[in-house]
Amino acid sequence: MEATDTSHEHEDLLDGGPGPMGATYGKLMMWFFILSDALTFSGFLAAYGFSRFKFIETWPIADEVFTHFPFLHGVEAPMYYVALMTFILIFSSVTMVLAVDAGHHLKKTKVAFYMLLTIVGGLIFLGSQAWEWKNFIKGEFGAVETKGGSILQFVNTDGHRVALADFAAHLPEVREQHTGNKGIWFMSEGSLPSYSVNEVIEGFKNHPEILVRTEKIVDKKKVILNREESIKKLATAHYVVEGANLIRNEYGQKSFANFFFFITGFHGFHVFTGVMINIIIFFNVLLGTYDKRNSYEMVEKVGLYWHFVDLVWVFVFTFFYLV
């Protein structure tokens, strides 16, 4: 009785070929990575949700924070640019699908074309996110922080925001920035605000049409104090806040800026990584690497990662910006 040689049945498993359910080793590992990364993002978004629920009465209103649009200075366009960024990223996912489909048919030129469109879409998204960060960090109106840590903003009688530059006085004060070399008890601090607390208070007193708006939200609107209450509340101010950083921000609850930088920054890093990998695959396509292999599976594996990045942004956009 002749022995049956079954070694060839496992050759594909050893060289990375099709395994269980037709999935190659590389594709299976990509799915493992996506699953683990999905759990990471889920943890971040869950932490964001818990923090927002805890500070629900003082959480910044996204429509008032993300109002900028390129080349439309001074025009309020709440969430328009974020929506455009989302559309661009989703469209890049469509071009990636077309690239993968072209790879299945071994059409090198089409794969390269759609990969290029995907790369361009990713770069536009990264540039847009950098522009959004710049505006978020710089701020537009400014505010003051009380000794209790709450943020006070300024509005006119119609409820529209008023910038510190529109009313702050200019007093003959000498302000010195703290640096570590000026005494062991001093801590280094960032750049000084454009105005001091005294200049803001003095300017506020000279403009009776301006009121203070607190962080507290009632019926989806922040509470605006009357003139007498505004002066009393402003007396507790101790720091002028312009823009946002990891310590404080002019938009309201401090945790909001921390989550914004961490979640959008972590996602942006994923997009940047995806763009770099796509560029490498794009040049491999041009060099005919996958034509020689007679397989464009590498494009498909990169496509899985790109679709995951797009899907994560949909959740970030929904829970961070819309809800």
User: Containing H/E element for 302?
Assistant: helix 297-316
CA distances 132 to 38, 254, 270, Å, are 24, 18, 17
CA distances 120 to 265, 272, 314, Å, are 19, 12, 19
42 Cβ partners below 8 Å, 6+ apart?
none
The length of the chain, given as a count of residues: 323
32 Cα distance to chain centroid: 25
Q: Say what the pLDDT of residue 70 is.
A: 87
- All CATH 1.20.120.80 domain ranges of the chain, comma separated, are 44-139+256-322
Contact 196, 173 (CB under 8 A): yes
Token representation of residue 301: 């594996």
Q: Say what the pLDDT of residue 14 is.
A: 40
What would the CATH number be for the domain defined by 44-139+256-322?
A: 1.20.120.80
The identity of residue 181, as a single letter, is: N
Task: For residue 239, report the phi and psi dihedrals to the nearest 5 degrees.
Answer: -155, 140
Look-up: residue for tokens 């469109």? 117
pLDDT 10s per residue in the chain (323 long)?
444 444 444 444 444 555 556 678 888 889 999 999 999 999 999 999 999 999 999 999 998 899 888 887 767 788 999 999 999 999 999 999 999 999 999 999 999 999 999 999 999 999 999 999 999 999 989 999 999 889 999 999 998 999 999 999 888 765 555 555 555 455 555 577 889 999 999 999 999 999 999 999 988 889 999 999 999 999 999 999 999 998 889 999 989 999 999 999 999 999 999 999 999 999 999 999 999 988 899 999 999 999 999 999 999 999 999 88
Token representation of residue 244: 């946002």
**How open is the CA angle 66-72-78, to the nearest 5 degrees?**
25
* DSSP secondary structure of 75-113: ---TTHHHHHHHHHHHHHHHHHHHHHHHHHTT-HHHHHH
Q: Say what the pLDDT of residue 71 is.
A: 81
Contact 118, 101 (CB under 8 A): no
Q: What is the pLDDT of residues 222-232, one digit of tens each?
A: 999 999 999 99
In this structure, the dihedral spanned by the alpha carbons of residues 193, 195, 197 and 199, taken in order and rounded to 10 degrees, is 180
- pTM for the model stands at 0.86
